[in-house]
Structure 1
Amino acid sequence: MITTGTGPIATAHAKAWLPWGDRMVCDNADIPLPPPMEDTLANTYPYISGPGALVKTLEQFRKSFPATVDAAYFKRMGIAPGNESYLINILRFLGVIDDSGAKVDEAANAFYGSDEHFHEGLTELLRDAYKPVFDELGPDAWNASRESLSHWFRMVDKTTDLIGGRQASTFLTLAGVSGNGAPVQANSSAKTTPRTPPKTPAKTTSTKKAANATKAADEVQKERSGGLTVNGGGTGDGGAIGLSVRIDINIPVGATADEYDAMFASIRKHLYPA
């Protein structure tokens, strides 16, 4: 068997095959070498496992676009540890950096200015980079389902279901960031927030509120002793609350005994009913 370094190309008459430049010669017949395996399986469309690192990268570039983007840059920024190459591949695909990682000023101009300018600029970059997607799926490809996009990418790149799904997710993430699809957050993965138990009101506070409510609803009755009590009480022990009433009487100088008697009779009648 003869191999080219990338796979078998012949299984018979191995000794009759001889290398000649970039060809294999056998019995005066030229047999072209097959293309390198890595080129055959190379993906046309980039991808990354999750949207968070991509969103954080674009947000960081809006704050400050570096002159050179490489793995060391992402490590310094703490973005996508172990996945730097995927981000670099996406940025190259969009044309914002060149093969050496240097910033492409014309494309990077989209990251400066207002949100509207950023959305318009990124939209233009995506339409150019994903032109075949829009040509075949239409101008509303932004809103296509992940399943339909995954199928399209798999048919084009001959990728696995996992890779096709990530290619679709990457496209939808970029669509969302550009303002053309569903909004995407950097920490888009759902996180469970610990449930905070409700606070129990202090016992003294609840007791005071209950006492106030009871007082407001109670009726005030007069007692024959002259004091006033509140029915049901508000002391918390069921006892009555005593209320003293002071009455001042001004008697004119020179009043007669009959006037005194009439005055006290009136007091007894109105303040001490039988």
Structure 2
Amino acid sequence: MNPLLTLALSVSRFRFWIYTGGTYVVGYALGMGSWEAFLLPSYAVYLFYFFFPANVFIYGVNDLWDRETDLKNPKKGEREHLLEEREWRSLVVLLLGVSALSAALLVSQTMAERAVFCAFLFLSYFYSAPPLRFKEVPVLDFSSNMLYIMPGVFGYLLASGSFPPLLLIAAGYFHIAAMHLFSAIPDIGCDREAGITTTAVVLGERRSLALCLVFWSACAALVLFLAGLHPLALPVLLFPAVPLALLLVRTVNTAAAYWYLPYLNTGLGGLAFAAITITKGI
């Protein structure tokens, strides 16, 4: 396999592709008028982009600017790719390639689509990169993860020509805020040692879990309201159940539970997609 492609696959964190690609698909499905919209070339182009190149960009920038702190992170080298010194130049080439592709896509977009797409790129880059480096600023660290909602907003806009309801965006915000905070809990020790002040570092494990419970409860309440208490929406209650269980049962390891969240997101995202497409006439 081509060395650049191998590096791109390693850096992009395959198990997290669903966070951008899946969000795009669900957003597009919510906005489309009928299932025929899935046959449009524009849908396929951005499906590819948000599943693969977008994740090369997000995590490539992250790995580029976190080289020193990643050496102290136990996840790196075991569960996630640890960038080696010899790979630095290749990663820069990959990031320039994705940037060029992103710039090319901007040409054919409407003004509204361009605004959302640029917001996605801005948040993806400055989450990790200086001088803003949102990941080291409490509250802004989880708020800047709106970058994962942007593909859904873009998909909805691409399919319908209008923005999604604000309550739907709010539900997405609460979800990504909880997801980010939850994922930062296992890193509290190494982040504190590296001098990185995240929301999780400031709050500590227990209070971080409590805030995750609040965020996911708010998300679940909004989803159930928007869905009219439809039975297919009830599994969203599994999200607040996770931090609640960890708060009540102290023997369960938060770090271990963290690795199962992509499966929960994929499962519930697939359920949402199925429910939406059924209502569109499939």
Q: Give yes or no for TM over 0.5.
A: no
Higher relative contact order (CA 8 A, sep 6+): 2
Greater share of residues in helix: 2
- Could you state the TM-score of these two structures normalised by the residue count of structure 2? 0.22
Which of structures 1 and 2 has the bigger CA Rg?
A: 1
